[in-house]
Chain A
Amino acid sequence: MMAAVELRDLHKTFGAYTALERLNLEIEDGEFLVLLGPSGCGKSTTMRLIAGLEEPSSGDILIGGKRVNDTPPRDRDLAMVFQNYALYPHMTVAENIGYPLKVARVPRTARADRVRAAAAKVEMAHLLDRRPGELSGGQRQRVALARAIVRTPRLFLMDEPLSNLDAKLRTVMRAELRHLQKELATTTIYVTHDQVEAMTLADRIVILNDARIQQIGTPKEVYERPANTFVAGFIGGPPMTLIPGTVTADRFTHETGALDLPGQPDGPAIIGARPEDIRVTAPGAGDLDGTVFSSELLGDATLLTVRVGPALVAVKVGPDDGRDMDAPVGLSLDRAKLHVFDGQTGQRRD
């Protein structure tokens, strides 16, 4: 069952407010696509439009090559995990998970087997007789997830399905979801505001901000070649350091210093460097000078935060290279991995 999804010029307004601005997107059959962006950027709206819970103001939605704008949700053959769970409060966990199967007239015994299997996948098999009101937030979220994966629809829509789980369970569930999705090869659109989740799960990531697509690419692409300063700052943790300044005659001047930057036109520019692309040097020997603001051991690395003028720069160093607070250091930027953005538009320059 082919379920490529295509959004053509998809536009959604609520009154005078534009929640989605002429979105164009093609999702391949079997792909795991992640919509990533800050709160309020239109992720849930996109999901609800694909599900048929909202009507587009203009534009088309195609599933499996067919325009579905006028198809009601129940005929779109998709399963959805709601951001607010939307569990049926009067039904037990088992009845909640089994409801889609009941509607589809799956016989009782087959239904019970599939409910148990789905509940086991989200580690809820021991709570089948509880009602949603008797569960914690994380447990409710897992029931919502089980209600989606109990089916074999042609499309999964998951709106922040792991947001309320504790860190350990989230890692387990992430792996479980990734595995399940590859096993079933069901096209999946997954919403999150957590960039780590996006990087680890996605075949491709779509980064949204202010109702617009900022960039579409594989996790590697968006990490290594962010299309603009928004993506650069949003992807990667701790975020890339962005330094605004001016290029004059192949030299980039900023508030606290200057460095050679050949091949760039004169004018305002922003340079960016990821924490792992910055080296610590003796004071005065690097491109920037500053003092250590904090030094945190992460386990396999140490995160140094260095105060450079008014800004804080994140630098990743070896686990044994921690520094004392207020120690003066120099920072040298890896020229090969430097990102350069237009000073006015914030777009990547190459």
Chain B
Amino acid sequence: MRQTAATRATLIACQLLLAAFVLLPFFWMISVSLKPATEPFAIPARLWPEDPTLANYVTAFRPEFRTYFLNSVIVSGASVAITVSLGLLAAYSFTRGQLLAVTALMSAVVLAQMFPHSAIIIPIYRMMRAADLLNTYTSLIAAYVSVTLPVAIWMLRGFLMKLPVSLEEAAAIDGAGPLRIFWDVVVPLARPGVIATAVYVLIVTWQEFLFALSFTSTREMRTLPVGLNDFIGQYGIRYGELMASSVMVSVPVIAVFFVLQRYFVAGLTAGAVKG
């Protein structure tokens, strides 16, 4: 498609506007995190602090933060591992299985992802309490797996459906059994899909607040999003430290995203089958 200089300029202007709209809160977060305690509400408000300081980061990086961070890593990491593994196996059978029951189950999966978290939190809470699992990693991981799995299955199925069946047929002829085919052929080829799904689960669970707040009752078990609450006191909000913590919470996810984004471009099946 040919573009005139004018359309191009308009497009770029629109993109910049959109980017500014999306990025402004992040900029504000960073700006506030660098302001001394007295400044956030100074009038007139400044876009960028007069004397930037890292003091907020020093206070925000307290021992509790480190505990919360570790908890988040454990809970998110386990959720990613479990959801992606289960999701891949389920998606594979949903892709290649031909039973009528499979179609019905897939519809159930689609339906399952339509319930908002707030609608299912009470039943899940009661189940966790009955199983005596409240205030454990297990309760959070179980909840996270159950809310992310439907979308994960859906995403992975989309990837698997694009894999040519003849590769699995070739492996079967070469003597491989179903599990071997899955491991040697399907998993390597599904890698872009696996990574995209893992990033999705990571983003959802890393920032999850509602379950984390409801299911944990002690500081030792809190995750980062809940931990941010510590700065919201009865008599005031310590914005500088809150924003410094927020930056530290965001950085790992953003870093993971940048490192892995090249995998989102699927292209691994090049050369498998004739045109």
Whether A associates with B in a native complex is: yes
What 4 A-B pairs come out closest when comparing CB atoms? A133-B271, A132-B271, A133-B270, A86-B170
Q: Contact at B175–A85, with CB atoms within 8 Å? A: no
Q: Which residues of A contact B (CB under 8 A)?
A: 51-53, 72-74, 78-80, 82-90, 99-100, 103-104, 131-135, 137, 140, 147, 164
Q: Contact at A147–B174, with CB atoms within 8 Å? A: yes
B269 closest partner in A (C-beta): A89
Residues of B within 8 A of A103 (CB): 171, 174-176, 180
Residues of B within 8 A of A133 (CB): 270-271
Residues of B within 8 A of A90 (CB): 188-189, 268
How far is B271's CA from A137's CA once the two chains are assembled, in angstroms?
Answer: 9
How far is B249's CA from A271's CA once the two chains are assembled, in angstroms?
Answer: 87
How far is B268's CA from A74's CA once the two chains are assembled, in angstroms?
Answer: 26
Residue B260 interfacial (CB < 8 Å): no
Q: Contact at A84–B185, with CB atoms within 8 Å? A: no
Identify which of B172, B270, B271, B274 contacts A72 (C-beta below 8 A).
Answer: B172
11 A-B contact pairs sorted by A residue (CB < 8 Å): A53-B169, A53-B172, A74-B177, A80-B170, A82-B169, A86-B170, A87-B272, A99-B171, A103-B171, A103-B175, A147-B170
Residue B100 interfacial (CB < 8 Å): no
Question: Other CB < 8 Å A-B pairs besides A82-B273, A86-B272, A104-B175, 10 of them?
Answer: A53-B173, A74-B172, A80-B170, A82-B169, A87-B170, A88-B167, A90-B188, A99-B174, A132-B272, A147-B170
* Contact digits for B90-101, partner A, Cβ 8 Å, 1 yes 0 no: 000000000000
Residues of A within 8 A of B274 (CB): 83-85, 137, 140, 164
Q: Contact at B170–A89, with CB atoms within 8 Å? A: no
Q: Contact at B173–A84, with CB atoms within 8 Å? A: no
Q: Contact at A89–B268, with CB atoms within 8 Å? A: yes
Q: Contact at B271–A87, with CB atoms within 8 Å? A: yes
A141 closest partner in B (C-beta): B274
Residues of B within 8 A of A87 (CB): 170, 271-273
Identify which of A72, A80, A88, A99 contacts B272 (C-beta below 8 A).
Answer: A88
> Known contacts A86-B167, A90-B188; is A74 also within 8 Å of B271 by CB?
no
Residues of A within 8 A of B38 (CB): none
Residue B166 interfacial (CB < 8 Å): yes
Q: Contact at B170–A82, with CB atoms within 8 Å? A: yes
> Known contacts A84-B274, A85-B274, A89-B272; is A73 also within 8 Å of B167 by CB?
no
Residue B158 interfacial (CB < 8 Å): no
How far is B271's CA from A135's CA once the two chains are assembled, in angstroms?
Answer: 8
Residue B164 interfacial (CB < 8 Å): yes
Q: A303 to nearest B CB, angstroms? A: 32
Q: Contact at B169–A140, with CB atoms within 8 Å? A: no
Residues of A within 8 A of B170 (CB): 80, 82, 86-88, 147
A104 closest partner in B (C-beta): B175
> Known contacts A73-B169, A74-B173, A74-B175; is A86 also within 8 Å of B270 by CB?
no
Residues of B within 8 A of A88 (CB): 167, 170-171, 184-185, 272
Best-buried of A72, A86, A87 by chain B (most CB within 10 Å): A86
